[in-house]
Amino acid sequence: MLCYEHHIEMLLEYRKESAETFLYACREPGCFIHYYSSQGYFIEPQNGDRSEPEIKPGVHCPKDGRLMYLAEVRPEKKSFRLWKCPECDAIRTNGEISSTAASSG
C-alpha cells in the first residue's frame, strides 16, 4: 500500500479509540495521509487545521464498490497507477479493470 502523494510504502498503525482500528499511515515526515479500508485515503487534521481540503483519489472497485488503494507506480512511466481492492483483490490500472484470480476453463 503506497501513499498517493509520496509513492512510498505506508505503515500499519493500531489505534484503540471507540473501536479497535487498523489503518495505514504515510511514513514521510510531515505527511498526514492515511488509508482505512472502509473510507479509503484521508488526511488526518493536525492541531485543528481545517485549511483547503485536499483532493484525494476515489478509485472504486467495480466488484464490491470499496475504495481501492495505490499498490504500484512505475517511475519510468509516470502516468502508470495500479490500484487494488482491500477486500476482493481486484486490480485496476489507469482505468482498466482486471482480477488477480485467473478463471479456469
pLDDT at residue 103 in the model: 37
Mean pLDDT by 10 residues, the chain (105 residues): 95 78 91 91 75 76 93 89 93 68 37
Check residue 51 and give its pLDDT. 60
| HEC string for 18-77 | CCEEEEEECCCCCCCEEEECCCEEEECCCCCCCCCCCCCCCCECCCCCCECEEEEEECCE
The predicted pLDDT at position 46 comes to 72
- CA distance to 2, 45, 49, per residue, from 52 (Å): 23, 11, 9
From residue 35, alpha-carbon distances to 3, 22, 24, 65 in Å are 8, 9, 5, 16
- What is the reported pLDDT for 101? 43
pTM for the full predicted model: 0.76
